[in-house]
Amino acid sequence: MKKVVLVTSGEERLPAGTAEAIRQFADFRAARCESPDDLLAKFPDAEVCWMFGPNLCLKPEALEKMPNVKALLRSGSGLDALPCDWAKAHGIGVYNTPESIAECVAEHAVALLISYIRQIPQYNARAKAGYEWGKVEGMDWHISHRTLGLVGYGNIARRVEKMMSGFDMEVLHYDPFVPGSLPLEEVLKRSDYVSVHCPLTPETTGLINRERLALMKKNALLVNTSRGPVVDEEALADALDAGTIGGAAIDVMCAEPPDVNSRLLQHPKCVVTPHVAAFSCDFEKNFFAASVAKLEKICAELGG
């Protein structure tokens, strides 16, 4: 059996039965590792390292001293927390479980978009503050028969497209890895609403920048549930100030938690949620079931 280690926490963090399920196909141990040195002290002979949340210990300076490591698994979406280039150069596989949160993140992106279009957070605040009942301000958008642009066209974006299909929208998408995708500039120019779903890589850092925001329609809305650094935050705040676009709804920021005085956090045209898109009452069930399945697949591919 392959030696699988969870470096994020002890077994007590796992749902009941999870550790036992992993032990059906692997020699499994778990302990929170606070640093690379801590990892080396606890699991020097690990073959598969599993993590979720912040990466405190799976760093090249530790992994290069662990000759048996053959795979790294980060549960959830995105691989930006792991040293992917280093791992690839050293023949170590890198995996994640985007399927475990795709449905929730898609639901959240759709919820952000619809709530902004219908001005639900704004009217909720006004109603509770004694705003004149029935007075209409800021209803500048409509959902049906508009154009939705998807930046990135993977599992989450395709679910967003399916969820929004009842509104009879035209859907455009940009993804350099998907045949038939449109150029990003064309998607931005033509879309009434743009939802960002690409992973964070060197190529996507700052992808939605000042120049590209300027291409969008004056009343367009931008939704970001991917990673904060994909969008240039200062450029977005400037665009909102200038009326270059109509508004933004975001679940992710460059610094998390952000400074309480962050321009976007305080901006009246920006709705913010605190990086919670992946969570629902089904989160733990989906998250850990996908993790166990991926660990089993990894162990089988490694030969035991």
- Report how far residue 228's alpha carbon sits from residue 259's, in angstroms, rounded to the nearest whole number: 14
List, as one string, the DSSP characters of 198-222: PPP-TTTTT-B-HHHHTTS-TT-EE
Against a cut of 0.85, is the pTM above it?
yes
pLDDT > 70 in the chain, percent: 100
102-272 architecture in CATH?
3-Layer(aba) Sandwich (3.40)
Model confidence at 13: pLDDT above 80: yes
Residue 13 burial (CB count, 10 A) = 14
Q: For residue 106, report the phi and psi dihedrals to the nearest 5 degrees.
A: -60, -45
The residue from 275, 284, 296, 301 that is catalytic is: 275
The tens digit of pLDDT for each residue in 22-76 reads 999 999 999 999 999 999 999 999 999 999 988 999 999 999 999 999 999 999 9
Quick check: is 23 catalytic?
no
Sheet holding 26-30, edge to edge: 26-30, 2-6, 48-51, 71-74, 93-96
Q: Positive or negative CA dihedral for 298, 30, 292, 99?
A: negative
CATH code of 2-100+282-302, in short, is 3.40.50.720
- Coil, strand or helix: which one is 157? helix
- Report how far residue 87's alpha carbon sits from residue 105's, in angstroms, rounded to the nearest whole number: 28
In Å, what is the CA distance from 271 to each residue of 63, 230, 267, 295? 40, 17, 8, 37
The tens digit of pLDDT for each residue in 218-263 reads 999 999 999 999 999 999 999 999 999 999 999 999 999 999 999 9
The residue from 256, 267, 296, 301 that is catalytic is: 256
Quick check: is 64 catalytic?
no
- Report how far residue 51's alpha carbon sits from residue 56's, in angstroms, rounded to the nearest whole number: 9
Quick check: is 267 catalytic?
no
Q: CA 190: distance to chain centroid? A: 25
Model confidence at 137: pLDDT above 90: no
Residue extent(s) of CATH 3.40.50.720 domains in the chain: 2-100+282-302, 102-272
* pLDDT given for residue 282 in this prediction: 93
The tens digit of pLDDT for each residue in 55-67 reads 999 999 999 999 9
The residue from 74, 212, 227, 233 that is catalytic is: 227
